[in-house]
Chains A and B, each alone.
Chain A
């Protein structure tokens, strides 16, 4: 194994770990102004939107893959299915679609 590759991986590990660790270890949530706390509480749902779209449209050259997968997942989730069921259902629907086209 090459030395350069080892150092590259270690460098990547450091720049990936630091942003994950610093706020959790060094921020004191009681000392953060309430307006910033409120913004931070909004982050999970905002980031879900940004993670889903437009990325879901790029999972396949065929744009319909993303659309069908999204519709299947939304439908299952809207009907109250368990998270793992939502995932499995969307995968099954898309696999069937891939099989038939």
Chain B
């Protein structure tokens, strides 16, 4: 019994590592560029790597650099980033419905690894998620993020121009690759994604900040589709 439990959580870990390969690849150009930009913004190597080690959030770190560059105060930056990160609240609550029950400290550890990418990969996986899977998924993504931040800073350059341009689509391609298989099978999935994309476009067009636009678009779409589904079930 004990042995089989160990085997399960181990294979969950390896599954998580495998599932995270796409994320690790997708993070490479983003982290390399972050490292390079951190250098040109005037951060030391230590500061740039420390930020990736402690924060581990692409959008937040890029926005931070641009705010530092224009001389924004620390409090204002921190508040702005809090707003950008509100969507993680939604992801954490959503993934909590899907992960196996486990001791709070373990959940508190892998919670650190929740990003747009680790969330969408794990949330679209069929079935329950084991703690081992979450650790594997987050670990490989995190390693890529930290290593390539340092790499970008030290090399002082990113990938060759043509590859860099091609790689700029990597994370979007991954999101599409996660969405399409489910959208093929379920109209509801197509509706959820389509509506959220529409709302997000309208809110972005209305000059709402990216953080709020994504949160509101996601909530509006999720609630509206649930409400329509509920009505359809009642009729």
Size range of the chain A interface in the assembly = 35 or more
Least distance between A57 CB and chain B CB atoms (Å): 9
Complex CA gap A50/B219 in Å reads: 10
> In the bound complex, do residue A99 and residue B162 qualify as a contact, i.e. CB atoms below 8 Å apart?
yes
Q: Beta-carbon contacts of A77-101 to B below 8 Å, as 1s and 0s?
A: 1101101101111111111111100
Partner of A8, one of B77, B178, B201: B77
Residues of the B chain whose Cβ atoms lie less than 8 Å from the Cβ of A5: 43, 47
Residues of the B chain whose Cβ atoms lie less than 8 Å from the Cβ of A51: 116, 120, 172, 175, 214
Complex CA gap A86/B170 in Å reads: 9
Residues of the B chain whose Cβ atoms lie less than 8 Å from the Cβ of A63: none
Residues of the A chain whose Cβ atoms lie less than 8 Å from the Cβ of B57: 16
Least distance between A21 CB and chain B CB atoms (Å): 4
Complex CA gap A39/B175 in Å reads: 20
Least distance between B131 CB and chain A CB atoms (Å): 11
Which residue of A has the minimal Cβ distance to B82?
A: A15
Residues of the A chain whose Cβ atoms lie less than 8 Å from the Cβ of B94: 40-41, 43-44
Q: Beta-carbon contacts of B109-123 to A below 8 Å, as 1s and 0s?
A: 001101010011001
Of the stretches B7-15, B140-148, B192-200, the one at the interface is B192-200
Task: Indicate whether B165 reaches chain A with its CB closer than 8 angstroms.
Answer: yes
> In the bound complex, do residue B44 and residue A1 qualify as a contact, i.e. CB atoms below 8 Å apart?
yes
Which residue of A has the minimal Cβ distance to B25?
A: A87
Which residue of A has the minimal Cβ distance to B113?
A: A20
Residues of the B chain whose Cβ atoms lie less than 8 Å from the Cβ of A22: 89, 92
> In the bound complex, do residue B74 and residue A11 qualify as a contact, i.e. CB atoms below 8 Å apart?
yes
> In the bound complex, do residue B226 and residue A25 qualify as a contact, i.e. CB atoms below 8 Å apart?
no
Residues of the B chain whose Cβ atoms lie less than 8 Å from the Cβ of A53: 197, 200-201
Given A87-B170, A95-B166: A37 touches B51 (CB 8 Å cut-off)? no
Complex CA gap A34/B45 in Å reads: 48
Least distance between B199 CB and chain A CB atoms (Å): 7
- Given A38-B229, A40-B222, A91-B167: 16 more A-B contacts, CB < 8 Å: A9-B51, A9-B54, A12-B77, A19-B89, A20-B89, A24-B107, A40-B94, A46-B192, A48-B120, A49-B195, A52-B176, A65-B169, A73-B173, A78-B184, A83-B22, A95-B167
Q: Which 10 A-B pairs have the closest CB atoms?
A: A95-B166, A49-B193, A69-B169, A86-B177, A77-B180, A44-B123, A90-B173, A49-B196, A42-B222, A53-B197
